[in-house]
Structure 1
Amino acid sequence: MRVLDLFSGIGGFRLGMEAAGHQAIGWVEIDKHARKSYEAIHQPEGEWTHDDIRTIDYRDVPRADIWTFGFPCQDISVAGNQAGFGGERSSLFFAVTKLLRQIKAWNPKRMPSYLLIENVKNFLSVNGGWDFLLAQAELDEIGYDCEWQLLNSKDFGVPQNRERVFIVGHLRGRGTRKVFPLERQSREAHCKLAGRLALPGKDQWNRVYDPKGLGPTLTTMQGGRQEPKVTDGYRIRKLTPRECFRLQGFPDWAFDRAKENGVSDSQLYKQAGNSVTVNVIYEIAKRMQIEETAKEA
C-alpha cells in the first residue's frame, strides 16, 4: 500500500513500512536538519514533499492508503509543559485532521484507509485523559474507527525501554484488518544500572548503564549533552550517535548516509531521540492489509 509520511523526522515510520512491503510516496517535515538526513537516508527524488503541515493545500496531497504520523509530543510529554492539545506543538494533531476533513468534503475516495499515529505514554493521561478521548472522538467524527495499544521497544528486538502509544484508525467501509493486540516479539530483559555519577542535574543524566542490559528511553538529548552513559571496560563513556540510531532499529547504512551528508553529531543525537523505533513500526505494518473485495470496490 502507498504511504504518506507526516511529521516524518528522519523516516523511522518509512523504514518500518517499507520493510513490510509498503511504498512511501510523499513526506512532510519542517526541521531543516531532519529533512537533510531524510533525503540522505531515503533518497526520495521526485516524491511529493512539503515542509509545514499547516500550509498544505489539501488538493495537492497525493493519494495514499496509509497516513503515518507521530505528531509533536512537547506539550504532552512528562518532561514538557503538560498543556496537551492546549499547547502550540501538540495541537498540530488537528492540522492533520483538518486536511482529512477537507479531503473528505472534496473527494472521499482520496481518504486514506489507515491512519497510524504514535505518541508518548503520557498521551493516555495528560489533562486527565480528556485529550486522548478527544483525539478518538475527532477521528470518529471524520469516519475512522480506532484501536490502540501501548507498546515498548524492548519487546521488539532493541535494548531500549521505550513505551509509546500507537493508534490505528480504520476508515469505515474500506475492509481494513484489525492490527492489535501485538504480542511481544523478544524475551523480557531488565535495565541494569552499573552505578551513578556525582554530577548536578536530573538523576536520569547521572545513571550509568550496563551494556548487557536495557538502555533508557532515548530523548533529544538536548543536542548531545545528555546522552546515556555506559560502562566500557574500566571506563565510563556516553553512547555514540551510531549506537543511538541502533537503539531505534536503524541499520548502520542509514546512519552512515546521514553522517556522510554532513549532519552534526548534536543533530544526529536529537534525530535519534525524536524518531520512532523501526522494529515496532514493522510489526504493525505487517498487519495492515485491505480485503480484496474492498480493493475491487
Structure 2
Amino acid sequence: MKLTLGSLFDGIGVFPLAASRFGIRPVWASEIEKVPISITKRHFPEMEHLGDITKLNGGAIQPVHVITFGSPCQNLSTMGAREGLSGSKSGLFYDAIRIIKEMRCASHGLYPVFAVWENVAGAFTSGNGMDFRAVLEAFQGTGIPIPGVGKWANAGLVGGHGPDLCWRLMDAQYWGGGRRLARRRRIFLVADFRGKRARTVLFKPRELHTYSDAGCSGGLQATRVDRILTAAPRGKVPILHPFEERRMRQSAKNKDASAFFRSFGRPNGPFPTLLSGSVNMFSFWYEGKERDGVIRYVTPLECERLIGLPDGWTAYGAEGEPVSPAARCRALGNAIALPCAEYIMAGVAEALKG
C-alpha cells in the first residue's frame, strides 16, 4: 500500500520531510508565503502546491491517508493579543477541519485516515480553555466538557463515536538525541478516523533516526558555534550563554532587574524558542576570558540545527536561488521541530502499515 500525505499550512515542508522518512509520500501542500513554498519545492519537486487554504475544496483534491496542519498560532500564543480561534489567523483552523470533512464525505469515510494538528502551548489556556475545547469539539463533532480542575492537562485523550483523539505537549529540547535543540513547547494532536490507534501514535516509545541518519551535523554545540570564535588554543573551554532578547528588552524597559537577569540562559540550558519576528542572540567566550566575550545573532544554519533540520534546508529556493538570511530565520521561526514530527510520523506509518 502506498501511503500518502497532504500538508496544510505547510511552511518549509517539515511534516513532508518527516513523513517521507517513514514511507509516506507527500503529494500536495497548501501554503501562501512565497519563500517557504520555494524552499519546499526544491526538496519535493513532485509535490503539488494548492495555494490558499480558504479556496480549497477537500472533496475536489486528491484523497490522502494523512493530513497534517500547524495552523497559525498568532491569536493563541501568550505573546500575542490572544483573540483565540476567533482571530483572523488562528481561525483558519476551521478551514482545515472543513477540508478534512469534505474529503471524508467525498471518499465515503475512507480518507484521511489520520489527521495531525500542531500548535503552541498557549492553546491550552486561550479563552480560559474554551479554545482548546473548541478544537476537540471540531474534530469530535460533539460537546466536550472542560476538565473539573478547570484546565487542560499536557496530555489526554477523547473517545466516543467520533475519531479517536489524543494530544500531547512536546518540547523539542528533549527530543534531540544528544543534540542541543531549542526549547519549543508545542501541542501535537492526533486524530484516528478508523480505529483506536491515536494513543499508540503519541505515547508508544520507539526508535527514530540516528544522529547521522537525520542528515544533520548537530545542534548548536558550544564547540561548533562559529569557526572564527572556536579558533582558540587547544584546551580552552568555550562557554555559551543563550538569552532571550525580547524578555531582556522588556525587563529593561520595565526596570525589572530580576527579570532582566533571568533572561540570560545557562551554559548547559536549553536554547530559547526560535521566533519568526526576531533573531535570537547569545553570548560566547572561553572559560576565564569573560571580558573577551562577544554577543552575536544565531545564523540560519544554527537555526536549522536548533530544530533538527538538515544543514542548508532553507538555503536555496526551487530554482537554486539563495534565500536571504532574514527570510530563512523567519521561516525557521515558524517551523516545526523535525524530531517531534518524525516521532509522530513513525507512529502513523506503523499504524497504517498494520
Shorter-chain TM-score tier: 0.7 to 0.9
Identify which of 296, 305, 314 aligns with 1:255: 314
**5 Å matches for 1:1-297?**
1-40=3-42, 42-45=43-46, 47-141=47-141, 143-157=162-176, 158-173=180-195, 178-181=200-203, 193=241, 201-203=249-251, 207=263, 209=265, 212-220=268-276, 222=277, 225-233=278-286, 234-258=293-317, 261-288=321-348, 289-290=350-351
Partner of 1:189: none
Aligned residues: CA RMSD: 3.0
Aligned mates of 1:174, 1:182 — CA distance in 2: 13
Structure 1 residues 151 and 176: CA distance shift in structure 2, 3 A: closer
TM-score (norm 2): 0.71
Partner of 2:152: none
Residues 208 and 231 in structure 1, CA contact (< 8 A), matched pair in contact too: no
Residues 243 and 271 in structure 2, CA contact (< 8 A), matched pair in contact too: no
Q: How many residues in Structure 1 have an aligned counterpart in Structure 2?
A: 282
Residue 193 of structure 1: CA displacement? 4.5
Which deviates more from structure 2 when the two are superposed, residues 64-73 or residues 27-36?
Answer: 27-36
Aligned mates of 2:105, 2:165 — CA distance in 1: 21
Residue 292 of structure 1: CA displacement? 6.1
Aligned mates of 1:77, 1:15 — CA distance in 2: 26
Structure 1 residues 57 and 205: CA distance shift in structure 2, 3 A: farther
Residues 304 and 312 in structure 2, CA contact (< 8 A), matched pair in contact too: no
* Residues 226-283 of structure 1 deviation map (CA, whole Å, 9 limit, x = unaligned): 4232315422211101101111111114234359522211111111110000011111
Residues 177 and 291 in structure 1, CA contact (< 8 A), matched pair in contact too: no
Partner of 2:233: none
| SS of aligned partner of 2:103 | helix
Higher Rg = 2
Residue 208 of structure 1: CA displacement? 5.1
Which deviates more from structure 2 when the two are superposed, residues 116-125 or residues 280-289?
Answer: 280-289
Residue 20 of structure 1: CA displacement? 2.5
Residue 60 of structure 1: CA displacement? 2.9
Residue 79 of structure 1: CA displacement? 0.8
Structure 1 residues 132 and 39: CA distance shift in structure 2, 3 A: same
Task: Kindly provide the amino acid, as one letter, of the partner of residue 155 in structure 1.
Answer: Y
Task: Kindly provide the amino acid, as one letter, of the partner of residue 79 in structure 1.
Answer: M
Residues 155 and 184 in structure 1, CA contact (< 8 A), matched pair in contact too: no
Residues 249 and 279 in structure 1, CA contact (< 8 A), matched pair in contact too: yes
Residues 76 and 123 in structure 1, CA contact (< 8 A), matched pair in contact too: yes
Aligned mates of 2:38, 2:353 — CA distance in 1: 38
Structure 1 residues 147 and 230: CA distance shift in structure 2, 3 A: same
| SS of aligned partner of 2:23 | coil
Q: Which runs of 5+ in 2 are unaligned?
A: 143-161, 209-239, 252-258, 287-292
Q: Which runs of 5+ in 1 are unaligned?
A: 187-191
Residues 211 and 231 in structure 1, CA contact (< 8 A), matched pair in contact too: no
Structure 1 residues 125 and 227: CA distance shift in structure 2, 3 A: same
Looking at secondary structure, tell me which structure has more helix per residue: 1
Residue 195 of structure 1: CA displacement? 7.5
* Residues 190-245 of structure 1 deviation map (CA, whole Å, 9 limit, x = unaligned): xx847898x9833499955466542001110x2xx442323154222111011011
Which deviates more from structure 2 when the two are superposed, residues 165-174 or residues 66-75?
Answer: 165-174
